[in-house]
Amino acid sequence: MSARLLRRVLQERETAPLDPAAAEVEQEEEEEASPPRVAARNPFDLLDEEEEEEKEDEVYSEEPVSYTEQKHSVNKKPSNVVSETNNKKSKKKKKKSKADTQASTKSRDEKSLDSILEDLSIEKKPMQQRMNRNERASGKEIETNETTPGTSSILSIDPKHLKAENEMRRIFGSKVVDSLENQRNVPSSSRPVRGARRVAHNPRKTLLVTPSSYWPPWDKSMSMDLVETKSDFNYFRYIYDPSASHVQELFAVAKSANDLNSIAAILGKYPYHPESLLTFADLFKYSGEHQSSADAVEKCLFALECGWHPLFSPLQGNCQLKYSHDTNKPFFTALFSHMKNLDRRGCHRSALEVCKFLLSLDSDDPKGALFCIDYFALRSQQYKWLEQFAEEYQCDNSLWLFPNFSFSLAISRFYVERDEANGEASDHSDKSTSVDLMKQALMLHPLVLRKIVDKAPLKDSSWTQILRNVFFGSAKPGSPSLEHMINIYVERHYIIWRFPELQNLLKDAALLVIESLKQDNREAQDWACIRKAAFSSDKNEYSHLLVSDFSDTTPSLPPEELRPFMVAPGMVHEMPPGEQEVGAEIRARAPREVAGRNAALVFLESLLPWVDYGDNHQDANGQNNDD
């Protein structure tokens, strides 16, 4: 029995019984007149009064009280007592009044929050999406359209597929990926110092990459500015912070001097300078250190994402970042390199999402994402999405006219037909078959067959008989642009043609082409007219896209060949006083002579971004000093 109940029983025994109605009225007057007694409360129990009573009973029961002390304390209390039922009724009334006040305050807070969001012009779309997901889970249908006007749903990005770690967890399991991440977060060059304590920095979370714990904090050297809003699209560009604007000049001087030491000194002071990180990423790549190259690219993407504008979001699809601005070019380069690194690790679905993001930033497609997006779709088994993309994406020409899409659509149709044969529902009965699409691709681009047979390679003797046909053996591209596109396609997609089922598909389609041409030779002329009308330019419109950028193989340079890029100490002179804080040194331009050198080495050297074959007017003595 609790102490409170014991006091009530003793009081009822010692006092005379009163009228229950009068006792209730006197008790209500007493409660109104007397101030409420303050007891020790738990702040989390304020919403439940019944639990509060139990708490108070426990507090009173913890202290042992004698019978005489209880009787003495009861005598000091007023003699009018109410029953427990009446007390509970009054408490229930109080509880209802509190609930009403809380509901009213909550509604006022929501109204005030809505008014604040309207004043700040902030969309409440994420909250609406969460509510819609809850309604879908409960079985309710949603009739509202959540797409933003002017956006393309075909290029919408799924954030859970952006990071390679998520895809690797689905492939290898969480334990394997977590162990690899723990090894990666510990830098190999870190050596414990006696008496020093190692502090691990926890960087901010980003959408594109997962930063390592040993990365330094973001230096805020770059940010993003909103240029204009036009046709439901927001146009942005990167800008340098005024305190770090001189770093770009230092990088230009170091690049013109082909000096890696100065670029390394810039990264020592500004560890997130984008162009310096991309320079060392290329250096590591050509040195064969692909993991170090990928880390440099991810660090560059981390810094550029931290500088995003609040209105910039890749998930909405209405953000444009034009490549014409020089400050935007490192972001395109880093995204393209990151996409290739994801492909090298086997994370094709993540590479597809990055490719969609790269294509949505600029409709001019400066990096050629349109020539590899079909490859990543096939490797990630997104066959139906590829067909939908070819139908909905707006381009100057129809996508099926491009060599990569004409063959990739036939491959995707082949796998869709195979899935439908295994029991899936068929909703493409009115479309062409995979053999017809492959036959159409060979009639439009017959040159692709010979290049695939040589590149894959396809060593079956039947291919020799097929290539002896005049239509395939003497095929010509027709225009420089088309020839360049065919070379890019073969370099990017040749590995797909190593699958036996696709080789059989290609062989059957080639034999059908030969049979149809025997019956009617005018069909080849019709397809040649279509090819000439689609690619009529006499210039190579895609000359800015290098075929080597779409290759899986990367040429490597031995360490002794990289030494000429480090300028000799005798050519050093001090920087101006205003630039000494970086700690870098300006080197004189190192001459790069082409005559008398190895042609292969000159070619690999020209791929490095810091090499410049400009006007060199130094004499032979300067060349000897450099050596």
Q: Which domain holds residue 535?
A: 369-423+430-544
Q: What angle do CA 294, 300, 303 make, to 5 degrees?
A: 140
Question: 167 and 300 share a domain?
Answer: yes
The per-residue pLDDT for range 426-465, each reduced to its tens digit, is: 565 678 899 999 999 999 999 999 999 999 999 889 999 9
Q: What is the pLDDT of residue 196?
A: 39
The residue out of 332, 365, 398 marking a domain boundary is 365
Q: What is the pLDDT of residue 1?
A: 56
Distances (CA, A) of 147 to 156, 363, 587: 10, 19, 54
Are 161 and 382 in contact, with CB atoms under 8 Å apart? no
Question: 419 and 497 share a domain?
Answer: yes
The residue out of 365, 389, 414 marking a domain boundary is 365
Q: How many domains does the chain have?
A: 2
Question: 263 and 174 share a domain?
Answer: yes
Question: 373 and 342 share a domain?
Answer: no
37 is a domain residue: no
Q: What is the pLDDT of residue 69?
A: 45
Full DSSP string of 141-191: ------PPTT--GGG---GGGTSHHHHHHHHH-HHHHHHHHHHHHS-TT--
Question: 384 and 360 share a domain?
Answer: no
621 is a domain residue: no
* The two three-digit tokens of residue 223, written as one number: 């940010």
The domain that holds 325 is classified in CATH as 1.25.40.10
Phi, psi (degrees; rounded to nearest 5) at 13: -70, -35
Q: What is the pLDDT of residue 124?
A: 41
613 is a domain residue: no
194 is a domain residue: no
Are 308 and 206 in contact, with CB atoms under 8 Å apart? no
Instruction: Quote the radius of gyration of the chain (alpha carbons, Å).
Output: 37
Question: 360 and 375 share a domain?
Answer: no
Q: What is the pLDDT of residue 243?
A: 85
pTM for this predicted structure: 0.67
Q: What is the pLDDT of residue 42?
A: 53
Question: 387 and 437 share a domain?
Answer: yes
Distances (CA, A) of 283 to 239, 277, 547: 26, 10, 19
Question: 335 and 253 share a domain?
Answer: yes
What are the residues facing 239 on neighbouring strands? 223
20 is a domain residue: no
Residues of the chain with pLDDT under 70: 1-3, 6, 13-152, 181, 183-203, 424-429, 558-627
Question: 474 and 331 share a domain?
Answer: no
Residue with tokens 């600029």: 362
Q: What is the pLDDT of residue 374?
A: 96
Q: Residue 413 and residue 582: Cα distance in Å, rounded? A: 57
Q: Residue 310 and residue 319: Cα distance in Å, rounded? A: 11
23 is a domain residue: no
Question: 360 and 409 share a domain?
Answer: no
465 is a domain residue: yes
Q: What is the pLDDT of residue 605?
A: 56
Residue with tokens 């439009």: 444
The residue out of 519, 544, 569 marking a domain boundary is 544
Helix (H, G, I), strand (E, B), or coil: what is residue 615?
coil
Are 78 and 30 in contact, with CB atoms under 8 Å apart? yes
Give the amino acid at 242: P
Provide the H-helix boundaries in 210-328: 246-256, 260-269, 274-286, 290-306
Q: Which of 373, 443, 437, 450 is nearest to 407 (CA)?
A: 437
Provide the H-helix boundaries in 494-557: 500-519, 522-534
Question: 330 and 398 share a domain?
Answer: no
Question: 240 and 222 share a domain?
Answer: yes
68 is a domain residue: no
